[in-house]
Amino acid sequence: MQFFGRLHPVLVHLPIGFIVFGVLLLWTDRKKKRYEQVIALAFLWGAISALLASLTGYVHYRQEGYSFSSVQLHLWTGLITTVFCLLVYLRVIENSWVKLLRGASPVALSIVLFLLISVTGHFGGSITHGADFLIEPLPQSLQRTLGYETFEKKEIVLNEENWQQLIFYDSLIDPMIHNYCASCHNPRKAKANLILTEREGILKGGENGEVIVSGDLENSPLHARLILPKSHEDHMPPSGKSQPSKAEINLIRQWILSGNSFEKTLGEAGLKKSELITFFRKDSLAGYPKVNPPPLSPDSLELFKKSRIHISRLSANSELVRVSMVNNPAFQDMDFDPLLGIAQNIAVLDLGGTAVTDSIFGKLAQLPHLTVLKLDNTGVTGAQLEKLQELEYLKSLNLTATPFEINNLAALNSFKSLRTVYLYNSPFTEKSGVEFLSNSNISIEYGNYSLPGIPSDSISY
Amino acid sequence: MDPIQKLIKEKIERELQARTRRHFIKECAAGMGGLAFGSLFAACDRKKAVPQPTGRKLTERDLNPLSVLPPPNMSRIKSVIYLHMAGAPSQLEMFDYKPQLQKLHGKPCPESLLEGKKFAFIRGIPKLLGPQSNFKQEGESGNWVSDYLPHFRKVIDEVAFLKAVHTDQFNHGPAQLFMHTGTPRLGRPSLGSWVTYGLGSENQNLPGFVVLISGGNDPSAGKSVWGSGFLPSIYQGVQCRSEGDPVLYIEDPEGVSRDMKKRTIEAINAINKEEYARYADPEILARINQYEMAYRMQISVPEIMNINKEPKHIQEMYGVVPGEESFANNCLLARKLVEDGVRFVQLYDWGWDSHGTDPSTAIDLGFRNKCRDIDRPMTALLLDLKQRGLLEETLVVWGGEFGRTPMQENREGKEMGYMGRDHHGDAFTMWMAGGGIKGGASWGTTDEIGFSAVEGRVSVHDVHATILHLLGFDHEQFTYNFQGRPFRLTDVEGEIIHEILS
């Protein structure tokens, strides 16, 4: 009986052949009507072979333990196709029994039949090859437009505060398996009979036995195969698939060593922060404020470009910009006014080497997101520096090679986020002016480094 | 073939290249169509008969290939200065302190270490060679540095060491190509080309990627280490010289005045603009821009390459000798260039191949002199960048193409007259300093004789991934399509070395 059922994958191709042949003949012969008998024969055998395929299919389904829900679409469409094929045959031979199709044209009927057999075949293929067999090789963007859910990598991120309380398996191992293993070792595909997306599957192993032996790395293929050379046949994930990082492989290692518990927390498993350093969320802002200023218009950018003001966005997904006058040494205070139109956007402003004076500070005070300000090699003395104290984000102030006056340093005390002030090559001597400074967050770079000569400088060996 | 014929040949070839099938068909259509219908449609609006520029909208990049593009992510740094010691310096006399190796000096190398290993010159069983310098822990970090680099201890807390970098190449050419292009074979773009391609350069009067050479020789891999590979050639490194003309042929030829040059370029550009009106090929606009940039560069490059104007104390700190080709001069130039918005400055210093075949390549003689020659300049470079506020937006990378063996070289199995070390790629030291780098960090350790990595082994690809990360790129997404597939600097490898990032 089981043998009979296993003939199904062979027999299904017969009705497909006969029916497609019949449909094509019917189409070519629609005017001259020279092959009517052959067409009838094609549909007759189509119907007979479809019946055979249906019978074997049913046996196959009963014998091999498929669930009804997985085969039902294929089963019903298969039966409909068989019956419909018979009806088309009867219509073609103009049998008087069947009156209900008399009005329909054979060509139209045959096209419906063709669609039916295609759909049936597709459902059948989905059972054996997986529902996404056809879709899988298409580009991701096309898959999304077609409405298929595509694979999305799970991002593994730890928090400084509570990382030790997180469950090792849930927070790190499972997402990692999802990212690197799940596309083959899932319940549907289960390559090598191994399912890694579920706890039971991980413990059960696959057709080559267990994948984990607690505390034994060498006998745990889940780790051992990861560290084989990429060229090795048994290396996992297979070459060409995305590969886990060294830090991620170390996670699997630590998990197995700590007894591959599904409940232990990271702290209980004894993980050190140094091993997890790559998983902590890095500051993606690189120290710039988290704000969303209005987008820049291309026209205004074009205008600035013409006046040799360089403007570029800090990153492709931010509207914060860096403004510099690198090719514009003649830039003066009054040239700044147009830039107030994009005041919200300016995070880095490099006015180094330009002709600006102290009256620029009043204008700079209107740049709420200014983070880095460079006024090196200009004539500013810092006379109106206090106007910048409202700037919430100003972090770095470069006054290198300016005639900055020492007593103006006191203005910095009320600055909110200021960390570094560069005063090299200004009237300051080493450490002078510190008496004006009470804000301990600010460090001053006086520069004036030198490398005094030492005897070994002139020894030639 | 004499040069003129060569030029004519090149011109003909270029013209043929420019004449694509599309041009041919277009001209046929215009020509034949014009003959046939010219009279018929004489009354029609002439403007519509002229082919209008069609297709995609021109971007800033079409007009100026070096225009600045934002990186995909926020970046920690704006520029890179890469100091490459061509020939591969010995990590064992500079940064990787191995007291145990000292004790084993003169003993034969354990055979287990040699199994399956290939060396450039070592044959049979070599003897171990103890470190020839004295080490001390310096700075707050307590990182080790040898007395071959007495000045460098001053900046030890600024730099982060990678002590277990490895490469799979043990000959200079391929290893240098690997270090700078991500593959030991020819044909890929260099790190600097990738960066200028990805980000452009702010200063429109200077090249975006400048190469400076010292030590009397180009690196063994030749100019390919700063080549643009399959990227447009505008992104290749521009070699500037500290001796003679800073860039070859930058001076106007004798009898050609600045004015005449200007008129020439205006005339060429006028013709090019007509060409553009005909073909609407953005390459023509790029070329117009290039002529204008070259004209501006004639003024700005000699200016920036002139280190005489630097104050005396700065010159002394670097130890420069104006008018000569030296690593010190190049370090000072590197600072000037990044100060003026150049994106990538690549220094090569030749002469580090310390095999011990003669005094100049002996670990305790010539190598020590080389150390002295770079010690002051590279220390001065970090200090100078720091005091100007440039270090927070610049990344400085230092390294060779591989490291050197803990064993004394025994060329052809013979004992050698001088102390030397063979090429060794299993574990060597590099350092980085600047924006986004955790100063004072040290990542990676080697075994007790410094032969291979024990912890924190990183690859050349990892180094590249880290540099690109600091510049705001995801090295896995930063690609260029060539020959039907996207190419990456890090190929299919590379992991960011978070341990040295702040």
pLDDT in tens, A39-80: 889 999 999 999 999 999 999 988 887 888 888 899 999 999
Judge if B206 and B265 occupy the same domain: no
Number of structural domains (chain A) is: 3
Q: Out of A245, A286, A450, whose CB is closest to B313?
A: A450
Judge if B340 and B198 occupy the same domain: yes
Domain contains A456: no
Domain contains B420: yes
Domain contains A397: yes
**pLDDT tens digits for A21-45?**
999 998 888 888 888 888 889 999 9
Measured CA to CA, the distance from residue B50 to residue A239 in angstroms comes to: 54
Judge if A75 and A15 occupy the same domain: yes
Beta bridge partner(s), residue B431: B161, B398
CB-count exposure of residue B12 (10 Å: 0-12, 13-18, 19+): exposed
Q: Do B150 and A454 touch (CB under 8 A)?
A: yes
Measured CA to CA, the distance from residue B397 to residue B415 in angstroms comes to: 36
Question: Which DSSP letter does residue B501 get?
Answer: B
Number of structural domains (chain B) is: 3
Sites in chain A below the pLDDT cut of 70: 96, 98-100, 140, 147-151, 281-283, 429-432
Give the domain range for residue A32.
2-138
**pLDDT tens digits for B60-116?**
787 788 999 999 999 999 999 999 999 999 999 999 999 999 999 999 999 888 888
Q: How far is B129 from chain A (nearest CA, A)?
A: 19
What's A394's domain CATH number? 3.80.10.10
Check CB contact of A461 with chain B, cutoff 8 Å.
yes
Quote the tokens at residue B2: 């004499």
Judge if B278 and B154 occupy the same domain: no
A chain contacts of residue B383, beta-carbon cutoff 8 Å: 449, 451
List, in order, residues 6 or more apart from A83 with CB less than 8 Å away.
Answer: none
Domain contains B67: no
Q: Output the pLDDT for position A348.
A: 96
Domain contains A402: yes
Measured CA to CA, the distance from residue A180 to residue A376 in angstroms comes to: 50
Instruction: Assign A346 to helix, strand or coil.
Output: strand
Domain contains B52: no
Decide which of B370 and B21 is more confident.
B370
Residue B30 has pLDDT above 90, yes or no: no
A194 touches A238 (CB < 8 A): no
Domain contains A285: no
Check CB contact of A420 with chain B, cutoff 8 Å.
yes
Which percentage of chain B shows pLDDT scores above 90?
66
Q: What are phi and psi of B488, to 5 degrees?
A: -120, 155
Domain contains A192: yes
Q: Output the pLDDT for position B47.
A: 47
Judge if A272 and A191 occupy the same domain: yes
Q: What are phi and psi of A183, to 5 degrees?
A: -65, -25
Q: Output the pLDDT for position B19.
A: 74
Mean pLDDT of the region B482-486: 90
Judge if A271 and A333 occupy the same domain: no
Quote the tokens at residue A419: 């960390």
Q: Do B389 and A327 touch (CB under 8 A)?
A: no
Measured CA to CA, the distance from residue A73 to residue A84 in angstroms comes to: 16
Lowest-pLDDT range of A72-81, B47-56, B359-368: B47-56
Judge if B379 and B430 occupy the same domain: yes
Q: Output the pLDDT for position B497.
A: 94
List, in order, residues 6 or more apart from B32 with CB less than 8 Å away.
Answer: none
Q: Do A318 and B70 touch (CB under 8 A)?
A: yes
Measured CA to CA, the distance from residue A189 to residue A192 in angstroms comes to: 9
Judge if A341 and A250 occupy the same domain: no
Q: Do A450 and B154 touch (CB under 8 A)?
A: no
List, in order, residues 6 or more apart from B236 with CB less than 8 Å away.
Answer: B190, B193, B209, B226, B227, B228
Check CB contact of B376 with chain A, cutoff 8 Å.
yes
Judge if A404 and A440 occupy the same domain: yes
Q: Do B389 and A314 touch (CB under 8 A)?
A: no
Check CB contact of A432 with chain B, cutoff 8 Å.
no
pLDDT band at B49 (very low <50, low <70, confident <90, very high): very low
Check CB contact of A69 with chain B, cutoff 8 Å.
no
B202 touches A324 (CB < 8 A): yes
Residue finishing a domain among A138, A171, A198: A138
Q: Out of A277, A451, A461, whose CB is closest to B369?
A: A461
Residue finishing a domain among A220, A247, A279: A279
Q: Do A449 and B70 touch (CB under 8 A)?
A: no
B353 touches B361 (CB < 8 A): yes
The H or E element that residue B211 is part of is strand B209-214
**Parallel/antiparallel/unpaired status of strands B344-350 and B209-214:** parallel
Domain contains A287: no
Task: Name the most confidently modeled range: A256-265, B270-279, B442-451.
Answer: B442-451
Residue B52 has pLDDT above 50, yes or no: no
B chain contacts of residue A448, beta-carbon cutoff 8 Å: 387
What's B231's domain CATH number? 3.40.720.10
Check CB contact of B322 with chain A, cutoff 8 Å.
no
Q: Do A457 and B376 touch (CB under 8 A)?
A: yes
Q: Do B317 and A247 touch (CB under 8 A)?
A: no
Give the residue from B160, B255, B257, B67 showing the smallest Cα distance to B500.
B160
Average pLDDT, chain A: 87
Domain contains A270: yes
Q: How far is B374 from chain A (nearest CA, A)?
A: 11
Residue B48 has pLDDT above 50, yes or no: no
Mutation to test the A interface, candidates B154, B303, B388, most A Cβ within 10 Å: B388
Q: Output the pLDDT for position A128.
A: 83
Q: Do A315 and B75 touch (CB under 8 A)?
A: yes
State the complex-level ipTM: 0.83
Quote the tokens at residue A51: 């019946």
**pLDDT tens digits for A255-286?**
999 998 999 998 888 888 878 877 876 667 77
Peptide bond connecting B311 to the previous residue in cis, omega within 30 degrees of 0: no
| CA angle, residues B50, B51, B56, in degrees to nearest 5 | 150
Q: What are phi and psi of A167, to 5 degrees?
A: -70, 125
Judge if B228 and B262 occupy the same domain: no
Judge if B226 and B284 occupy the same domain: no
Q: Do B380 and A451 touch (CB under 8 A)?
A: yes
Closest residue in chain A to residue B147, using alpha carbons only:
A456
Judge if B417 and B376 occupy the same domain: yes
Domain contains B267: yes
Check CB contact of A317 with chain B, cutoff 8 Å.
yes
Measured CA to CA, the distance from residue B199 to residue B193 in angstroms comes to: 10
Q: Out of A327, A447, A448, whose CB is closest to B205?
A: A327
Q: Which of residues 347-406 of A touch B (CB under 8 A)?
A: 374, 376, 396, 398, 400
Beta bridge partner(s), residue B80: B344, B395
Quote the tokens at residue B65: 């290939």
Full 3-state SS string of A233-269: CCCCCCCCCCCCCHHHHHHHHHHHHCCCCCCCECCCC
Quote the tokens at residue B480: 């260029």
Beta bridge partner(s), residue A374: A350, A398
Residue B500 has pLDDT above 90, yes or no: yes
Judge if B43 and B107 occupy the same domain: no
Q: Output the pLDDT for position A345.
A: 95
Exposure of A378 in the CB half-sphere (CA atoms within 13 A): 27
Q: Output the pLDDT for position B29.
A: 67
Average pLDDT, chain B: 89
Measured CA to CA, the distance from residue A210 to residue A384 in angstroms comes to: 74
B162 touches B500 (CB < 8 A): yes
Q: Out of B70, B204, B387, whose CB is closest to A445?
A: B387
Judge if A314 and A419 occupy the same domain: yes
Judge if A259 and A304 occupy the same domain: no
Give the domain range for residue B293.
249-304
Residue B475 has pLDDT above 80, yes or no: yes
A chain contacts of residue B364, beta-carbon cutoff 8 Å: 461
Judge if A272 and A316 occupy the same domain: no
Q: What is the CA radius of gyration of chain B?
A: 26
Check CB contact of B134 with chain A, cutoff 8 Å.
no
Judge if A267 and A377 occupy the same domain: no
pTM beyond 0.80: the answer is no
Domain contains A148: no
Judge if A303 and A263 occupy the same domain: no
A chain contacts of residue B495, beta-carbon cutoff 8 Å: 245-247, 278
Q: Do A396 and B389 touch (CB under 8 A)?
A: yes
Judge if B242 and B255 occupy the same domain: no
Check CB contact of A67 with chain B, cutoff 8 Å.
no
Judge if B294 and B319 occupy the same domain: no
Q: Which of residues 338-367 of B touch A (CB under 8 A)?
A: 340-341, 364-366
Domain contains B61: no
Q: How far is CA B478 from CA B71, B199, B472, in A?
A: 10, 11, 10
Q: Which of residues 261-290 of A touch B (CB under 8 A)?
A: 274, 277-278, 282, 284-286, 288
**pLDDT tens digits for B161-205?**
999 999 999 999 999 999 999 999 999 999 999 999 999 999 989
Residue B50 has pLDDT above 50, yes or no: no
Q: Output the pLDDT for position B51.
A: 45
Q: Out of B74, B317, B365, whose CB is closest to A284?
A: B74
pLDDT band at B8 (very low <50, low <70, confident <90, very high): confident
Q: Do A400 and B389 touch (CB under 8 A)?
A: yes
Judge if B440 and B482 occupy the same domain: yes
Check CB contact of B335 with chain A, cutoff 8 Å.
no
Q: Output the pLDDT for position A142.
A: 76
Q: Do B75 and A286 touch (CB under 8 A)?
A: yes
Judge if A191 and A317 occupy the same domain: no
Q: Do B364 and A461 touch (CB under 8 A)?
A: yes
Judge if B99 and B8 occupy the same domain: no
Q: Which of residues 325-344 of A touch B (CB under 8 A)?
A: 326-327
